[in-house]
Structure 1
Amino acid sequence: MERILGIDPGSRTTGYGVIVSDRGRIGFIACGVIKASPQLPFAHRLNQIFDGVNEVIQIHSPTAAAIEDVFLATNPRSALKLGQARGAAVVAAMQNGLQVYDYSPKLIKQGVAGYGQAAKAQVQHMVRVLLGLPSMPSTDAADALAVAICHANQFRL
């Protein structure tokens, strides 16, 4: 049995999702978002992301972390900020002794919705169906759960 933390990094909002995977079956544990204060300097927001991921790990005790890889953004400045937010999340996971696995956005969408170009709404819907959730998670939390589901599927193979 594996408890997987999925992370959808963002410089303003980082989504997280925790699932359990046991012999091909997945179950929901928790999901949510870590919000970084936009009025703070960027370095302080990175620290908030680090602290938030650290807190999620302390509460839910995952055995592995899966994180979405940085995609090619049209704005290089945005891509750099996203990469730094991702780095803060990776370091938090590593500091807690977790193995970190990287997945491309295309592979994540393919693993959850069956189509690498799936829209956010499709991913959200499929996450809700696959985990049997009573309501729709936020887009950031759904994306993080999709990362965790993708890892569970890859790990099983």
Structure 2
Amino acid sequence: MGISIRDYQTLEARLRRPGRNTDPTQTVAPAITEGLVLGVDPSLRGTGYGLVEKRGAELRAVAYGTVLCPRTWSRTTCLAAIAQTLRQIVQSHHPTIAVFEGLFHARNLRTALIMGEARGAALSVLAEAGLEIYEIAPRRLKLAVTGHGAAGKQAVANMVRRMLNLTNTPRSDETDALALALAHWQALSRPWTGLSKRI
């Protein structure tokens, strides 16, 4: 599994816009060349995760999956499953960085509350484990991965599959998580772009 140097350089070029982040109060990802990044796409019934490793110029998917919670499970049972799974992932793979998608504006208050609970369960476990945690705005994530800020889920999934040379297209939650990890690697190689913000 991997991405060519040429494709990686193309992705980096997409982030080069006129002007750089000059706000000293904004914390961005420092330059890191190798390691393991965990992308997390929280949802009460299907939290996606994806681990992307970089060695030299190669990016590869180490592991990815979805924390599936049946509708018969209570909300608290789902939150416990999310926390337990992420804790096991950290213990097994030892990532040092986690990245989430930035907050969105939900029209339904109940939906926003439930999403916030799932996000909080994931954030608390990873913060407790000592990982550095970042977030990427939804539009900037799509722009970084596909070159289009308004790209649909299928376009993101197709690009993730190509970039990581995957045989099959992962589930939607998993591709979103892998996309977050991939985009964060761009931020790590070009910290002045401000693509990722530490939270």
User: TM-score of the superposition, structure 1-length normalised?
Assistant: 0.94
Shift of 1:40: 2.4
RMSD: 1.3
Identity level (%):
35
The answer on whether the counterparts of 1:16 and 1:145 sit within 8 Å (CA) in structure 2 is yes
- The equivalent of 1:106 in structure 2 is 139
- The equivalent of 2:129 in structure 1 is 96
Shift of 1:25: 3.4
The answer on whether the counterparts of 1:7 and 1:144 sit within 8 Å (CA) in structure 2 is yes
Is the strand fraction higher in 1 or 2? Answer: 1
- The equivalent of 1:140 in structure 2 is 173
Shift of 1:23: 4.4
| Among 25, 33, 50, the residue aligned to 2:66 | 33
TM superposition outliers: structure 1 runs of 4+ over 6 Å? none
- The equivalent of 1:4 in structure 2 is 37
* Equivalent position SS for 1:31: strand
Is the helix fraction higher in 1 or 2? Answer: 1
* Equivalent position SS for 2:161: helix
Shift of 1:149: 0.6
- The equivalent of 1:83 in structure 2 is 116
User: TM-score of the superposition, structure 2-length normalised?
Assistant: 0.75
CA distance in 2, matches of 1:92, 1:133: 29
What CA deviation, in whole Å up to 9, does each residue of 1:31-88 have, x standing for no partner?
1101123222212211111111111212221121111122112212111111110111
The answer on whether the counterparts of 1:70 and 1:82 sit within 8 Å (CA) in structure 2 is no
- Structure 2 unaligned runs (5+)? 1-33, 191-199
CA distance in 2, matches of 1:154, 1:142: 18
| Among 133, 138, 154, the residue aligned to 1:121 | 154
Shift of 1:89: 0.6
CA distance in 2, matches of 1:143, 1:26: 16
Q: Does residue 1:61 correspond to 2:94, yes or no? A: yes
